[in-house]
Amino acid sequence: MSDELKIFKKKLDDVGIVALVGDVTSLSEEQIIKSYEEFADDGLHLIIFDFALVSYINSSGIAILIGIVNKAKQKGLTISVAGLAPHFQKIFKMVGLTRFIQLHDSVENALNSKGVNPDVSVSN
């Protein structure tokens, strides 16, 4: 496991929230994919990745997300990203990721847009 990233998860109705704290790089690939797969296998409809406490994403991190979007498409799952810093919003648009994922300012906004009560305290 990478020391560069901590992951906290929470489930609300049929929505999974994956809060990432640290760096999103190839060093954290296994952790991120595992978190996605645990929720995806749980029959959820939406997974929100919370990037509010992520300060570094590199091209390998982008590639991890593209892989997750691919897996999610095959399962009919929606992926949203919340709390992304403006620079990384620009990067996501540049590579085309925003064609496939919805960006929200915060997890609360992402949940509100789906009509889910945003009680969003998360835990391991």
Partner 1 sequence: MSKSTIELRIPGELGYEKVAMEAAATMARKMKFSPERIEDLRTAVSEACINAVEHGTKGDRRGKVAVALTRDGKKLQIAVKDRGPGFTYESEEPNIFEKLVDEGNTRGWGMFLIENLVDEVEITSKPDKGTTVRMVIHLDNAGEGPGDE
Smallest distance from the beta carbon of 91 to partner 1, in angstroms? 7
SS3 107: helix
Q: Which residues contact 63 (CB under 8 A, 6 or more apart)?
A: none
Helices (H), 1-124: 29-40, 59-75, 86-95, 107-113
112 binds partner 1 (CB under 8 A): no
- By CB under 8 A, name the one of 8, 67, 106, 108 that touches partner 1: 67
Which of 24, 98, 10 has its CA nearest to residue 54?
24
Comparing CB distances to partner 1, the nearer of 60 and 117 is 60
- By CB under 8 A, name the one of 60, 112, 113, 117 that touches partner 1: 60
Distance of CA 115 to the CA centre of its chain: 19
Stretch that binds partner 1, among 9-17, 32-40, 92-100, 103-111 (CB under 8 A): 92-100
Smallest distance from the beta carbon of 19 to partner 1, in angstroms? 22
